[in-house]
Amino acid sequence: MVNIPVMFALNYYILMENKKSITHVLENMDKNTLYKQKSSFVWSLSLIVLGVVSFSIYTSFDWKTSDALPHFLFILGSVFLIIGVLMFFFRKDHYYSAVSGQKLKLTQIYFQPGEQNKLVNLMAESRIDEVKNLKTSVSDGLKLSVMATPDGNICLSQVIAYLGSEYVNITDVKNHSQAEAVMLASIKSK
């Protein structure tokens, strides 16, 4: 008899883990609606160039051994070069609306963990205006992730909870209308 609740809890946990994330849904959307683009490489390339220029200044002059400037140039060039190379290879992916060209922005709204059932029910029933009445929190035990364009033409949300030392997608990704996106934006700015 003791094993039945444990099995149910494990099955429930596995079911929640199989829900797709917002990122997964965005990557599978139609290319005429949304496209993915890496951030610009201009900053990383400029840091690499500054590092090379710093090294060339360091090697082109004869310096006294007691001068601090050559050591500073060497360290500065090394730091610029390393940061530039890392920034180039680890650029972030951003999603843009194909229609308006606007960038989708991810916002996290944190709620107290005791509000989980209410939040899930309100989001499932599309009662977005009542979500602002829930108790917010500064910790990220329960969060509503919202990814939307500034005009609200594309707006997706998902309830995520921190369970068992990992984040678990509690609900499926929900696509919102422009009016609901405006309501979600008002909750974010609360």
* Residues 63-109 pLDDT 10s: 788 888 888 999 999 999 999 999 999 998 889 988 888 999 999 99
Per-residue pLDDT, 118: 92
Does position 51 have pLDDT exceeding 90, yes or no? yes
Instruction: Return the SS3 of 151.
Output: coil
Closest to 142 (Cα-Cα) out of 124, 165, 115, 118: 115
Per-residue pLDDT, 17: 52
Does position 4 have pLDDT exceeding 80, yes or no? no
Q: Are 131 and 122 in contact (CB under 8 A)?
A: yes
Cα dihedral sign, 116-121-126-127: negative
CB under 8 Å to 65, separation ≥6 — which residues? none
Q: Are 186 and 170 in contact (CB under 8 A)?
A: no
pTM score:
0.71
Q: 65: burial class by Cβ within 10 Å (0-12, 13-18, 19+)?
A: exposed
d(CA 173, CA 151): 19
Task: Considering only residues 172 and 5, tell me which one the structure prediction assigns the higher pLDDT.
Answer: 172
Measured in Å, how far apart are the chain's first and last C-alpha atoms? 47
Q: Are 73 and 18 in contact (CB under 8 A)?
A: no
Report DSSP state, residue 103: B
